[in-house]
Chain A
């Protein structure tokens, strides 16, 4: 399709309670830079059910325009309903570029929409810029398990589309909104939604593993030695208010569910703090956690590659270091709390 504007759009995914997923709001930060570089407006596209909270959040984080589609068919994500609504919005308003958070749903939706529009999509980007030479969006993404980075352009097709890894960009501060809100009535007939969720089997072990939006992650690898070896990992995560991750070696050994796996065949994460315990640091694991702000490694082997990716490396036995850390975190919290009251 032809672009009708120089606008940059951010797709803002919603939660079932009508709030925005973090990544959508995060993307308004680089979105502003790109929109200014393109000479267009920064627009958010919010699709959901009773999603006024997400609309307001996008407006408060700097969107010039918020396009929103609201209806019961969007309460739970389905490929068919969301692809129909987003494609219709894009065709009607013709943005030059479109960013989508690379969540599980974002990566399900993005290629469906780009394929329908016949345009290019760059997957799971970790860097965004305006290419000085061409004025196009320059998408940077890892390939070959994080061994190689590629810079991608989409010269002749519109919109230029990319999915962007959660946690890479930081949410800006909320400001007084100035956004124009455009409500579009797009209905999707029930028979056009060709998948049906029968039930959700909650995994006993999954513990609501929301690794992708966690601020703090404590991960265990081969060095934990067995399923019971995750106990000190969990204890530290709990003390820090963080989530539990794992390396492929630990998951493949059956010590913990795959939902916890960080890395190429697991999840890509971008917490503020990532603590890798007994993880050697295979490149595939490093690729999955490279978006972390601060990396701590705890490992007996001072030669482990994980230390080269760490800001702070503790050489020592995790079964001694982790309980000591947990104890120290609890003490620190108690001190801070009593200091406040």
Chain B
């Protein structure tokens, strides 16, 4: 099986702080990491390869030249080959423009690497949180999609996917070629071995620039080619005027709180009917 994993390098959003004076994000010194959901997608591919060593894993990322670091992390962990899609004309793309560029890149890569039976993506990236690029790529490639997957298994030429749903796990069969987006399973991306790490440090990562896609429609890429435009950004206001309850006895605190909540009418509709 030939699997392509789409990955993104993102700022570690857990490290982002707010400048209280200017009310802006402090991005300086925030480390760049492999988007965690893309790591789960890569691990899902690696698990397929554990069962079938013939499986080939190619990773691709669209981003600035520094995104190479995330690709090396993928090579070290599990990928066989990595490509970077990078060019000034691609900058500022919204999800639709990004998916158009990535779909073009996937077609170009298929000419070099053979057809991909499956494209794996993280469910969403932790900087944008849109969860749109995966399904948008699937649509542009005409592939069926399964979103929010936990794990995938080879099954009759296609994939059997475990999808996270409200009630538990849905088992879904999807024919190849397909696209699957992954959410957080009960495991993480595997750690690289020393040998893989050394090889990844030395690996050549081809860059696909603007000239790699002569047929691409320039009116559909970059900031100008994006249907959605950011009008303005702002740091959300903090909640103020909270009431603090501090009592010697827990029972007193409980009484006080419930009196306040009851006063706002939130306890009226409850019951012991659908808790567990």
Contact = CB atoms under 8 A, between A and B. Distances in A.
A313 B266 contact: no
Interface residues of B, number: 89
Interface of A is mostly: mixed
Interface in B219-262: 226-236, 238-239, 242-247, 250-251, 253-255, 257-258, 260-262
B243 A284 contact: no
A312 B144 contact: no
A324 B171 CA distance: 42
A195 interface: yes
A323 B254 CA distance: 9
B171 A201 contact: yes
A144 B251 CA distance: 40
Given A145-B14, A194-B175, A308-B242, A110 B132 contact: yes
B144 A152 contact: no
A150 B167 contact: no
Contacts of B148: 104, 108
B114 interface: no
A296 B261 contact: yes
A60 interface: no
Given A112-B139, A153-B229, A203 B169 contact: yes
B276 A309 contact: no
Q: How large is the interface on A (under 10, 10 to 19, 20 to 34, 35 or more residues)?
A: 35 or more
A258 B16 contact: no
A274 B174 CA distance: 38
A196 interface: yes
A325 to B, nearest CB: 4
B251 A324 contact: yes
B173 A241 contact: no
Interface string B162-199: 10111111111111001000011010000000000000
A228 interface: no
B223 to A, nearest CB: 13
A311 to B, nearest CB: 6
Interface string B146-164: 1110000000000010101
Contact of B254 (A200, A313, A325): A325
Contacts of A116: 139
Nearest to A146: B236
A307 B244 CA distance: 8
B275 A151 contact: no
Interface stretch (A27-35, A91-99, A177-185, A326-334): A326-334
Interface in B19-51: 25, 36-37
A201 to B, nearest CB: 4
A41 interface: no
Interface stretch (B72-80, B93-101, B201-209): B93-101
A176 interface: no
28 contacts: A83-B139, A112-B135, A112-B136, A112-B139, A114-B136, A121-B96, A124-B129, A124-B130, A131-B231, A145-B14, A148-B233, A197-B171, A198-B172, A202-B168, A238-B275, A241-B275, A293-B266, A296-B257, A308-B242, A309-B239, A310-B239, A312-B261, A314-B253, A317-B250, A324-B251, A328-B251, A332-B267, A333-B272
Given A120-B228, A312-B243, 5 more contacts: A114-B132, A196-B173, A203-B168, A208-B167, A259-B164
Interface of A: 79-80, 83, 104, 107-108, 110-112, 114-116, 118-124, 131, 138, 142-157, 194-203, 206-210, 212, 215-216, 234, 237-244, 254, 258-259, 264-265, 272-273, 282-284, 290, 293-296, 302, 307-317, 320-321, 323-325, 327-329, 332-333
Q: Which 4 A-B pairs have the closest CB atoms?
A: A120-B227, A238-B275, A194-B144, A203-B168
